[in-house]
Amino acid sequence: MQIRFQNSPLETSKMSTDELRSNFLLQDLMQADQMNLVYSHYDRMIIGGVVPVSKKMELHNEAELKANYFLERRELGIINIGGEGTVTADGTHYELDKLECVYLGKGTKEVVFLSKDKNTPAQFYLLSTPAHQTYSNQKMSKLEAAPVQVGALATSNKRTIYKYIHNEGIQSCQLVMGLTILEEGSVWNSVPPHTHTRRMEVYLYFDIDEAHRIMHFMGTPQETRHIVVGNKEAVLSAPWSMHFGVGTSHYGFIWGMAGENKEFTDMDPVPISSIK
C-alpha cells in the first residue's frame, strides 16, 4: 500500500509537472489479478483497484492500519467499472454489473472479489475511510441512484450525476461516493468549479479512449495547476484545491469525498471569471 502525505497550497504552487504527478496522480490502479491501494493522509482515505481475472481476490489486511482486519475501524465503497462480478462480504453475495455500487460497513471481516468472465473481468474501484459506527451493507444499482441531469450542450457540460453513498442514499459514517457521465459532445466537468475546505475528494476518470486525455485542473483559484490524466487514473484533491477538468472526448468519472460532513451541496463556488 502506497502512502501519500499532505501538501500545502504554498509547496504545491512551486511543484514541477513530475512533482505534481507523483503527489496527486494515482496510476496503475486496475491491474489483472492485483489489488493496488493508496493511503492518503487527506482525511485518511484509502483508494484502490481490484481486477480478479484468473482467481478470487480477498481484501487483505494492511500492516499500516494496525488492525485485526481491514474493515475493523473502516467502511468501504465499491463501484464496478468493468464486466460483471461479485463481491462477497461475510458470506453474502452482491452481484455487480458495470456502474453498480456496494457499501460495506465497519466490522465486515471477509471481503472477496470475483469476476463472472475472465475475458471481460470486473474492475472494482475502492474507497475506504475511518468509521466509528456500523451501517448496514447495501447494494445500489445505477437506476436506484436517482440520476439527475445537469449542464447543457451549449456549454459542453451536459452530464448525468448518480449519487450512491450520501445523506439521502446509502448511509455511511463519512464516505460520500457517486459518479458522473458526460454526454457525447460534452467535455467539461464540475463547472462552475468549487472548493470545500471541509472535505477532500478523489476523482477516478474512466471510459476514456486510449488516444484521449483529461486536463484536470487543481490548485487555488488564483494559482491553478493542471495534471494530464489517462483512462482509469485518479487524482487526489486537497480540501483547499479546486477540482474540475476538460477532456479531448466525453468520459465518466467517479467522485468520492470524506471529511467534516456528508452534505453533497456543501461547496464554496468559484466564479469562472476569477480563476487565474
Q: Where are the domains of the chain?
A: 2-274
Q: Would the pLDDT of 146 be above 90? A: no
- The architecture of the domain spanning 2-274 is Sandwich (2.60)
User: 252 or 264, which is more confident?
Assistant: 252
Select from 71, 58, 134, 60 the least CA-distant residue to 108.
71
pLDDT for residue 192: 87
pLDDT at 107: 98
- Residue 49 pLDDT class (50, 70, 90 cuts): very high
Spatial contact of 276 and 210, defined as CB atoms under 8 Å apart: no
List all residues 6 or more positions away from 87 whose beta carbon is below 8 Å from its beta carbon: 78, 93, 94, 96, 102, 104, 111, 112, 113, 124
Q: Residue 259's closest CA among 229, 273, 239? A: 239
Sorted by sequence, the CB contacts under 8 Å of residue 98 that are 6+ apart come out as 80, 81, 82, 83, 84
Compute the average pLDDT of residues 195-218.
Answer: 96
